[in-house]
Amino acid sequence: MSTFPGVGDAFPDVAMETPDGSTVKTSDFAGKKLVVFFYPKDNTPGCTTEAKDFTALKGDFDKAGVALLGVSKDSAKKHQNFIAKHDLKTPLATDAEIGGLSDVLGIWTEKQMYGKTYMGMVRTTYLIGADGKIAQVWNKVKVKGHAEEVFAAAKAL
């Protein structure tokens, strides 16, 4: 079984599409702390709450010198609609490529619901230090209070 990057490892530098059609990768944030939160799908209840919670705290993250990036497999067009519908201020990126960042991290995986098996995103958040190394990982995130918990950890880093 392969091992996926964890605490202390360098965060993979994989290019992803942004809603405006450009690309973003973690090396773009070199020398800055970064929070990358992966979520299953735009405009679903938990994902909307999570994105809105991070948006509500974006000013605090900015003041603390911490960049934010939300990632799902949704298309750039879906991200544009999601941002507009919920007035999101948190930057989003599309990880739709096979072998993309969520695959490298092992969080795009087989899931089951109602007896059906499908591929899906495991809601996971990474705190990356200014050195580009993973400082903390939250797996199978519960949305309530998560953005605040991540902010506290990022501020303390």
Domains of the chain: 35-156 (3.40.30.10)
What does pTM read for this prediction? 0.95
Q: What is the pLDDT of residue 1?
A: 42
Catalytically active residues are: 47
Each residue of 70-80: pLDDT tens digit?
A: 999 999 999 99
Q: In what order do the strands lie in the sheet with 92-94?
A: 23-24, 16-17, 92-94, 66-72, 33-38, 124-128, 134-138
Q: What is the pLDDT of residue 3?
A: 77
Give the mean pLDDT of 144-148. 97
Those residues with Cβ within 8 angstroms of residue 38's Cβ, 6 or more apart along the chain or in another chain? 70, 71, 72, 95, 102, 105, 107, 121, 122, 123, 124, 125, 126
Query: How distant, in Å, are the alpha carbons of 16, 17, 48, 79 from that of 88?
Result: 19, 17, 9, 10
Query: What is the DSSP secondary structure assignment for residue 141, as one 8-state letter?
Result: -
Give the mean pLDDT of 5-19. 96
Query: What is the DSSP secondary structure assignment for residue 131, as one 8-state letter?
Result: T
| Residue of 137, 129, 142 lying closest to 26 (CA atoms) | 129
